[in-house]
Amino acid sequence: MKLTTALLAVIAAASLTVQAGHLPSLSSRSFHNNLAIRAPPARNRCRHRDSKPSPQPKSKNTGGSSSKSSSSGGNAGPPKQNNGIIHVQSNCGDPRATARTTRLSGPNGHIDWLNCGIENGGWRPPNLHVNDLVVVSLSEAIQKPGSPFMACARFFTFFNRYGNQFGIQPILLASFALQESSCRPETVGQGGEQGLMQITRDKCGGAPGGNCRDPDFNIRTAARYFARTLADNNGNILAAVGTYNGWTRGLTVGKATAARHSACCRCQNNLDYLQQYFNGWCQGINAYDANHRLGKYFNLDPCGQ
């Protein structure tokens, strides 16, 4: 009888404890697990990738070195494989990209798409990102017969070094050098732009011996500026490259060519710049060569060299 009474007392005490909520239970752990499952996933700026990505087809989109991401640019690494042409839709319609570069088009889209709006209300750059681009690597570009990048070969160390440092593919930096100065380090523009990358004088602070055309300083400064410009444009490579040439959103043909009859004719914005850059140099093609002659405006032609 005593045993029975004691046992009943224990059972009653346990029951009271459970009712008071002091005893850990399986249901309480399940409640927290359910919260974790229902919680929204963390935002991820990168596109979703399968846990076991399928093999990628080979294409010309090699993209240069797989550099580390930096706080300045955040767009390091080779672009994705995309079968030789971009696949980007925008308010500007179909990019009309072609696998082979033509005078008006190429793997990164038609000039009218790259220059979207410039003849109608003002430039509104389509949202093209680094990982959408089709480019060749710098090492591949120089191997092409008659490569224009031979003129830049002695500066490859700097393109690679600062491309890696600022998270920019080296081919993009070298393409700026060809577009801006034909890779001639002593070039001075009509507006006082300096060196290989034609950086403006306001960026020359700290140049060694005051020489803003020093290749190391010049490329490093341009790479830092471009990485910052790319970040400021939320990774839109079209907007960033246009900005490098002095373009702004809303730019029109009239505004771009306003300096044509001034004392600084070459202070115009080159309206063929994006076509020449993305579908010329970035493909290892000489955008200025008579056999290609990329573009349709040629508004700098009257300015001479």
pLDDT means over runs of 10, the chain (305 residues): 43 40 31 29 31 36 36 40 76 94 98 98 96 96 96 98 98 98 95 96 97 98 98 97 97 97 93 98 95 94 86
Q: Are 124 and 91 in contact (CB under 8 A)?
A: yes
Measured CA distances, 263 to 158, 258, 270 (Å):
34, 11, 17
Q: Are 120 and 113 in contact (CB under 8 A)?
A: no
Residue 15 has what pLDDT?
42
Residue ranges of domains in the chain? 111-300
Residues 235/66, Cβ–Cβ less than 8 Å: no
> CA Rg, the chain, in Å?
29
d(CA 178, CA 290): 16
Q: What is the pLDDT of residue 84?
A: 87
Compute the distance between CA of residue 145 and CA of residue 149 in angstroms, rounded to an integer: 10
- For 111-300, CATH number out of 3.90.1720, 1.10.530, 2.40.160, 1.10.10 equals 1.10.530
The pLDDT score that the predictor gives to residue 80 is: 43
Which pLDDT value is given to residue 83? 59
Question: Any idea which residue has 């044509």 for tokens?
Answer: 260
pLDDT digits 0-9 by tens, 119-162: 999 999 999 999 999 999 999 999 999 999 999 999 999 999 99
